[in-house]
Amino acid sequence: MLNLERLRTLDALARHGSVSGAAEGLHITTSAVSQQMSKLEREVGQQLLAKNGRGVRLTDAGRLLAEHAARILSQVELAQSDLEAQRGQVAGELRVAAFPTAARGLFPAALRDLRERHPALRVRSREQEPEQGIRGVVRGDLDLAVVLDWHNKPMPLPDGLVKAPLLDDPADVALPAGHRFAGRDEVDLADFAGDEWITWGEGEFCHEWLMFTLRSKGIEPIIGHRAAESHTQLGLVAAGLGVCIAPLLGRDPLPDGVATVPLKQRVRRHVFVVWRADADRRPSIRAAVQALRAAGESVGATSESPTAASAAS
């Protein structure tokens, strides 16, 4: 009989494409991955891995078995979800991730609420950018991820994921307190055509959104500095090094020397949580979504839609 943990290792290899990636996703050593694969090859009597330069690749037999492993593991997930739902207990382990400002603005309240209400549930959290969070949920490395898109640039979601809105997060422009526009009631993005922007890392979803939005207004942005973390961006603004977009979630306290001004064309991030459809019935998923929505309401923003996905109801 095929060993489920060894099939899980094979599935991780197929999804991550390397022994080191599979080890990281499974939170085990690369040696453990190699040992599991050696045992699985002996079980099936066929070679599943072949050397590929300095790495490995799946053989034809390996790819065939990996396809079956993915379906088997999905059925196991469904069975676990059904058993959890029948038992009705919020227990076990839940692995969650959020982009940095959501981790700071939502996780403290939501995870405290889960610990107080459901002491048998063990939550493990991490910060990850939205694209990484979505990939983690698809691969099975995460149970939930808090992600975002913008009012004019949706985040594409792979098939097989469920989402529920948490809040709409308004964003202002943050600028040095001595900036010529610091005292205005509102500004237009076009007002900053000659300013240096402090933005996210190249290729990140929020950076691409900013480039798309500015260019759609005929502005070729001047990028002065890049920083993944919003408070680092605000620190650079405080030093007079440029301006940045400053969403409300996780923003406070503002550093001394920084002013924020609303935009005439209101800019909002849509913050939502995603999970796999085959885990939809898990009570722990439902409890976590409810805790995250309550945390979102506490920051003063409102959900985009009064109707969440099925697990939030």
Whether the CB-CB separation of 276 and 162 falls below 8 Å is answered with yes
Looking at the structure, do residues 65 and 106 belong to the same domain, yes or no?
no
Place of tokens 């109707």: 307
> What is the span of the domain harbouring residue 8?
4-85
Q: Do 250 and 106 have their domain in common?
A: yes
In the predicted model, what is the mean pLDDT of residues 69-87? 73
Residues 235 and 257 grouped into a single domain: yes
Task: State residue 245's pLDDT score.
Answer: 96
- The residue-averaged pLDDT of 261-275 equals 94
Domain-terminating residue out of 55, 85, 115: 85
Return the higher-pLDDT residue of 311 and 29: 29
Boundary (domain end) residue, out of 85, 113, 138: 85
| Whether residues 27 and 154 fall in one domain | no
Residues 47 and 105 in one domain: no
Residue 229 near residue 101, CB atoms below 8 Å: no
* Residue 304 in this model has a pLDDT that exceeds 80: no
Least confident range from 24-28, 63-67, 90-94: namely: 24-28
- pLDDT > 90? residue 156: no
End-of-domain residue from the set 70, 85, 100 = 85
Tell me: pLDDT of 308 over 70. no
Higher-pLDDT residue of 113 and 266 is 113
55 & 158 share domain: no
pTM flag (> 0.75):
no
Tell me: do 71 and 179 sit in the same domain.
no
In the predicted model, is pLDDT for residue 243 greater than 90? yes
Q: How many structural domains does the chain have?
A: 2
In CATH, what number is assigned to the domain containing residue 75?
1.10.10.10
Mean pLDDT of the chain: 88
Question: Which among 4, 141, 136, 163 is positioned nearest to 75, based on CA atoms?
Answer: 4
Based on the fold, state whether residues 180 and 213 are members of the same structural domain.
yes
Query: Residues 16, 126: one domain?
Result: no
Query: Tokens standing for 166?
Result: 């948490």
Whether residues 98 and 71 fall in one domain: no
Position with higher pLDDT, 158 vs 197 = 197
- Please report the pLDDT score of residue 199 as a whole number: 96
**pLDDT exceeding 70 applies to what percent of the chain?**
93
| 25 and 156 assigned to the same domain | no
Three-class SS state of 173: strand
pLDDT digits (tens, 9 = 90+) for 84-130: 665 667 888 899 999 999 999 999 999 999 999 999 999 999 999 99
- 196: domain CATH number? 3.40.190.290
Q: Do residues 56 and 152 both lie within one domain?
A: no
